[in-house]
């Protein structure tokens, strides 16, 4: 379609699903921070006042799972609510894997194996980029994340001290001839520590002035007089969070990726060490797609990479430019295959994925677990670099 409206949503770090993603990735960080060859898969679920963590791991590091979870919950801001870091019950189901599962010699295997290490997962991952924003992300998800981050910021800095950690945002953008032309609607829903304070009128005025207006201050496309703006249209939301609705790791794939503007794999990105191709393959695909668009080969680019258990190389790499390519898609595929790594060993080594948690004081993977894994100017992500544009010539 040449004319349409696309809507994307984001959530704050206090949303129960994002809380679970952050706990899962904080556990991954804790293992890799002290043992770069650790294997860890961690999943989390939360409801009412109960946090459940299921994990499989192989490492010489001893990790206090409940302590990691409580630190994340406290950092997010659940300190005085019905659900809080002090009194919530944390249940764990843990399985320590054997040394053969650990793949601690993966570096040696990468050097000695003719085709690298075979992958353990059967998955198709997608990477996407477009020229709608400076970070080459679709405009709706970019704006939804900006609103969600600003909503969290005004709470954390106590500009609006009555806000609770759980919040959601939504932006609808109108497209004509496949280009964004106006902001169709904006929705912000935020929880409050007191259902009766402030009034709905005060809340709506405060959110407009401190969240929406600053979020669009530097944007080329701004709300106009016909933009629909909804702020807690259903009325006050007391507390929110796990005491109101449950959460689970990996349940926000569209928010983690491209806001539904492009396809994404069904696999969760959080809670997995870098030897899981369903996580890092998505990073490699984004890296390639972003460089294709940055090099001017297309205005939009979706790269699809498929893996099969037991094989090191992808079984298929496809490129779709939605009619915006300045070269045939087949020619772009050839360039992508020539200049980008898609094997497990190649991606890990290129992005230094096993060492990043030890280099980050705030935890590397945990920071990805809220506000998206892509298009993050606040983080120095290796897959967001556009350092291969000079190579993409035909």
Q: What is the pTM of this model?
A: 0.95
Q: Going edge to edge, which strands form the sheet with 4-11?
A: 4-11, 163-176, 179-192, 228-231
Supply the pLDDT for residue 196.
85
Contacts of 155 (CB under 8 A, 6+ apart): 77, 161, 163, 164, 165, 167
Write down the CATH number for the domain with range 123-132+253-391: 3.30.300.10
The mean pLDDT of the chain is 94
Asked if 129 and 299 touch (Cβ cutoff 8 Å), the reply is no
Separation between Cα atoms, residue 58 and residue 280, nearest integer Å: 19
Output b/e per residue, 255-291; b: 16+ Cβ within 10 A.
Answer: bbbbbbbbebbebbbbbbbbbbbbbbbbbbbbbbbbb
| Model pLDDT, residue 104 | 47
CA-CA-CA-CA dihedral for 70, 74, 79, 84, to nearest 10:
-30
**Please, which residues have CB within 8 angstroms of residue 1's CB and are 6 or more apart in sequence?**
none
* Cα distance between residue 11 and residue 274, in whole Å: 25
Nearest to 166 by CA among 77, 257, 49: 77
pLDDT in tens, 288-319: 999 999 999 999 999 999 999 999 999 999 99
Both tokens of 296, joined, read 């001017």
- For 16-103, the fitting CATH number among 3.30.300.10, 3.40.50.1110, 3.40.50.720, 3.40.1130.10 is 3.30.300.10
d(CA 307, CA 175): 34
Topology (CATH level 3) of domain 139-239 = GMP Synthetase; Chain A, domain 3 (3.30.300)
Domain boundaries, the chain: 16-103, 123-132+253-391, 139-239
| Three-point CA angle 294, 297, 302, nearest 5° | 80
Per CATH, 16-103 and 139-239 having the same topology is answered yes
pLDDT of 195 reads 82
Q: ∠ at Cα 153 (385, 141), nearest 5°?
A: 45
Which residues, in sequence order, are bridge partners of residue 320? 302
Q: Which residues of the chain have pLDDT under 70?
A: 1, 99-115
Per the CB < 8 A criterion, the answer to whether 53 and 23 are in contact is yes
Give the separation between CA 334 and CA 230, rounded to whole angstroms.
46
| pLDDT tens digits along 334-348 | 999 999 999 999 999
Q: Which residues 6+ apart lie within 8 Å of 205 measured at CB?
A: none
HEC assignment per residue over 65-77:
HHHHHHHHHHHHC
Closest CA relative to residue 33, chosen from 65, 53, 72, 61 = 61
The number of residues making up the chain comes to: 394
Compute the distance between CA of residue 301 and CA of residue 323 in angstroms, rounded to an integer. Answer: 10
């Amino acid at each position: 379609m040449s004319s349409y409206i696309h809507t994307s949503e984001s959530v704050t770090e206090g949303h129960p699903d994002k809380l679970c993603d952050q706990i899962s990735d904080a556990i991954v960080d804790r293992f890799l921070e002290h043992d770069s060859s650790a294997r860890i898969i961690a999943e989390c679920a939360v409801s009412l006042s109960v946090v459940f963590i299921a994990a499989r791991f192989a490492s010489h590091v001893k990790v206090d799972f409940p302590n990691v979870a409580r630190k994340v919950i406290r950092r997010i801001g659940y300190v005085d609510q019905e659900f809080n870091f002090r009194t919530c019950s944390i249940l764990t189901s843990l399985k320590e894997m054997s040394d053969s599962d650990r793949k601690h010699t993966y570096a040696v295997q990468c050097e000695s194996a003719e085709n690298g290490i075979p992958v353990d997962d059967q998955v198709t991952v997608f990477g996407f980029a477009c020229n709608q924003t400076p970070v080459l992300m679709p405009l709706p998800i970019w704006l939804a994340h900006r609103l969600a981050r600003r909503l969290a910021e005004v709470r954390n800095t106590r500009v609006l001290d009555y806000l609770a950690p759980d919040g959601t945002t939504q932006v609808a953008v109108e497209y004509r001839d496949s280009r964004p032309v106006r902001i169709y609607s904006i929705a912000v829903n935020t929880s409050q520590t007191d259902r009766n304070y402030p009034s709905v009128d005060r809340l709506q005025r405060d959110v407009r002035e401190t969240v929406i207006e600053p979020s669009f201050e530097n944007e080329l496309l701004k709300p106009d007089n016909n933009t629909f703006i909804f702020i807690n249209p259903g009325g006050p939301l007391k507390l929110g969070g796990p005491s109101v609705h449950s959460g689970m790791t990996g349940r926000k794939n569209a928010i983690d990726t491209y806001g539904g503007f492009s396809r994404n794999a069904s696999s969760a990105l959080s809670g997995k060490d870098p030897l899981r191709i369903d996580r890092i393959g998505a990073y490699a695909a984004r890296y390639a797609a972003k460089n294709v668009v940055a090099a001017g080969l297309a205005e939009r680019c979706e790269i699809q990479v498929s893996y099969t258990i037991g094989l090191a190389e992808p079984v298929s790499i496809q490129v779709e430019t939605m009619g915006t390519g300045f070269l045939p898609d087949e020619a772009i595929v050839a360039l992508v295959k020539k200049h980008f790594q898609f094997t497990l060993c190649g991606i890990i080594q290129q992005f230094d994925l096993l060492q990043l948690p030890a280099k980050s004081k705030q935890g590397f993977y945990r920071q990805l677990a809220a506000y998206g894994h892509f298009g993050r100017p606040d983080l120095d992500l290796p897959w967001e670099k556009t350092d291969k544009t000079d190579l993409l010539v035909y």
